[in-house]
Amino acid sequence: MMPNFVSPKDRGKHCSGEDLNKMTLGTVHKVGQKARPQKSQERQFPTRASVKFLAVCAGAPAVAICVGALTAWAAPSTSDSASSNASVTQQTTKGSLSFSARGNSLVQLGNESTATTNGASLAVAFNRPGMEGSTAEANGTGNFVVAGNNGHAQVTGNFNMVRVIHNSDAEVTGNFNTVTVISNSDAEVTGNRNMVTALCGGSAEVSNQNDQVVLKAPCLGR
């Protein structure tokens, strides 16, 4: 019996869909180089669902974008459970997200982070897996407060924008202040229309003053 012979022109016709996917997705590696495992696409679906859900809750495009990005960052991935079993040190905390607006809790995923509002303000608190929880408190009208990864923010007044991330604290009292505190830093602000930034271990303080611009960042020589 003659063996089946497939001409070079007909080889593509006999490839299955799986074979075509392997040829398309395959990666050429150098000799001795370990192939990196392909990232699973399953973890994209929970993130997209969370972003869409928060966009509906927030109602404002700018808030939806900001909170949606935080959701993608804070939401734990189920596809990483297998790799975490091989780790010697297991994570002691899980990711959580809390979203509050106009005195109502709109989203509460996990229980380590808490956001509260009193009045027509927005507050978001979150923490990634392995990080301690955060607290964001907004009292007044038009405030937008974000605290993440063991960040703690307390705001009283109107139309303040405060962001506190990564082992940092901020306390703000007044109106129209913009305060950013990141990475082992702290800030205490009392007054109106101040712009205060504390980074990389900086400590900023504005006491009963208005229209001040303050930057405290040891890593930048300030």
Of 138, 139, 210, the residue nearest 176 (C-alpha): 210
Per-residue pLDDT at 176:
98
Distances (CA, A) of 25 to 45, 82, 92, 221: 21, 23, 37, 48
Please enumerate, as own/partner, the contacts of 111-118 that have beta carbons within 8 Å and a separation of 24 or more: 113/147, 113/148, 115/145, 115/147, 117/143
Per-residue pLDDT at 92:
56
| 97 has a pLDDT exceeding 80 | yes
- Residue 4: pLDDT band with limits 50, 70, 90: low
Name the more confident of 185 and 19: 185
Give yes or no for a contact between 182 and 168, defined as CB atoms under 8 angstroms apart: yes
- What is the C-alpha separation between 123 and 169, in angstroms, rounded? 15
Pairing of strands 178-182, 195-199: parallel
Q: What confidence tens digit (pLDDT) does each residue in 102-126 have?
A: 999 999 999 999 999 999 999 999 9
Of 118, 187, 104, 174, the residue nearest 147 (C-alpha): 187
Threshold 0.75, pTM exceeds = no
Question: Which structure tokens are listed for 175?
Answer: 């109106």
- At residue 184, the 3 state secondary structure works out as coil
Task: Please report where in the chains the tokens 């205060």 appear, as a residue.
Answer: 196
Question: Which structure tokens are listed for 113?
Answer: 């982070």
- Percent pLDDT > 90 in the chain is 56
- At residue 55, the 3 state secondary structure works out as helix
- What is the C-alpha separation between 68 and 53, in angstroms, rounded? 9
Question: Which structure tokens are listed for 111?
Answer: 């229980």
Distances (CA, A) of 167 to 53, 131, 134, 150: 28, 9, 9, 5
Mean pLDDT of the chain: 75
Per-residue pLDDT at 138:
98
Question: Which structure tokens are listed for 87?
Answer: 């780790």
